Structure 1
Amino acid sequence: MAIDFLDKPLVKALLNQEIPFYELMTAYDIQVSIANIDTCIYGFTYVSRQGNYYLILNGNTDYETQCKVFIHELKHILEDCPKQSYYIGLDMQYKYIEIEADKVAEDIVKYCR
């Protein structure tokens, strides 16, 4: 599975730190924040009542992990959130949507190496 928005040059630029997450996402009205949260949580996404997307990444992880989490969460924003109004849970790593988002992130990062 591929997300058209995440073409190879874009992901390479993210991994090479040539373009920051927040600049790109601000252009698409997705707010990205880095927070120092518990290391068992890599990141998460939520949608406000106004329909704004917020993507929170863990500042206690390395840049490559943040890139993978960023792509993982972006997959949710582009494909999963429009299909279902909400997903709640911190222990969802075995749910289909989480496994699929992990696969997309891994495949895209591998493809760009």
Structure 2
Amino acid sequence: MQERILNSLIHGYLSFFDILRSYDINLAVVNHLSSNILGMVYKTKRQTYVIVLNGNINYETQCKVFLHELYHIENHMPTMGYCIGLDMQHTPLELEAENA
């Protein structure tokens, strides 16, 4: 399923905003993130999610990172109070989201 969504995003059949509207998620594309941070997700005080993407990476990578962060929203965020960390690429949560 994620592969079909990824292909639809890359080829322009689907946009980030189509997905964001259906989940009520906000998106921020930021150009001043460190090059080792591709993206992140957080929950605001108003209980809405924000996916942050690094604006300095190519569109295909942004699509992959977007789906990765969406996986966290669907599968990890509802059961976790919070998760803080910028160097988490080798944790079980990250590996699970990466291999989904």
Q: TM-score, normalised by structure 2?
A: 0.89
Query: Match of 1:82, SS?
Result: helix
Q: Which residue of 2 aligns with 1:34?
A: 29
Query: Gaps spanning 5+ residues in structure 2: where?
Result: none
- 2:28–2:53 Cα contact (<8 Å) kept: yes
1:85 shift after superposition: 1.2
Q: Which residue of 2 aligns with 1:46?
A: 42
Q: Which residue of 1 aligns with 2:72?
A: 76
Q: Which residue of 2 aligns with 1:89?
A: 85
Number of paired residues?
Answer: 99
- 2:6–2:64 Cα contact (<8 Å) kept: no
For residues 97 and 62 of structure 2, the distance between their equivalents in structure 1, rounded to whole angstroms, comes to 14
Query: Gaps spanning 5+ residues in structure 1: where?
Result: 105-113
Q: What is the aligned-residue identity percentage? A: 38
Q: Cα RMSD (Å) of the superposition?
A: 1.5
Read off the aligned partner of 1:35 and give its amino acid letter: V
- 2:43–2:50 Cα contact (<8 Å) kept: yes
Q: TM-score, normalised by structure 1?
A: 0.80
For residues 43 and 94 of structure 1, the distance between their equivalents in structure 2, rounded to whole angstroms, comes to 15
1:27 shift after superposition: 3.0
Read off the aligned partner of 2:99 and give its amino acid letter: K
- 1:22–1:33 Cα contact (<8 Å) kept: no
Q: Residues 47, 27 of structure 1: CA spacing in aligned structure 2 closer, same or farther, 3 A cutoff?
A: same
Read off the aligned partner of 2:39 and give its amino acid letter: G
2:53 pairs with 1:57: yes
